[in-house]
Amino acid sequence: MNDPTFIEAARVLGLQMTLAVDSKNAISLAYRKLTGHFPLPQEIVLLQKMYKTEYERFKTNPKKAAGWLHAGQYRINDNIDTAKIAANAVVASTILNSDASLTKR
């Protein structure tokens, strides 16, 4: 799942999440896109907590976000907060790598 294609997909979803008005809604929609169902309330809380942690990490050290922002061919607009995009990409990648995305029920 660390293939550039998956990182690029997570980045594109991260960008879409960043452009959303509400982070809870953004997480819920990304989860729905990747799993086919809506997340439980506690899953949203955990993913929002992850986002906040990752955002602070990327905000204080922008170089750490480079891998999330430059893998693959899809380019993002540099005028958008890249720390937010990278943090949302981590959240999207986590959802993508979860059992809810990988297991067909």
**pLDDT tier at 53 (50, 70, 90 boundaries)?**
very high
CA separation, residue 30 to residues 59, 61, 63, 64 (Å): 22, 26, 25, 23
CA distance 21 to 14: 13
The predicted-structure confidence for 15-50, as pLDDT tens digits, reads as follows 999 999 898 999 999 999 999 999 999 999 999 999
Half-sphere exposure of residue 31: CA atoms within 13 angstroms, side-chain side: 22
Q: What is the largest CA-CA distance in the chain?
A: 40
**Would you say residue 61 has pLDDT above 80?**
yes
What integer pLDDT is reported at residue 5 of this predicted model? 78
Going by C-alpha positions, the residue among 20, 22, 9 that lies closest to residue 72 is 9
Which tokens is 46 given? 């955990």
Tell me the three state secondary structure of residue 27: helix
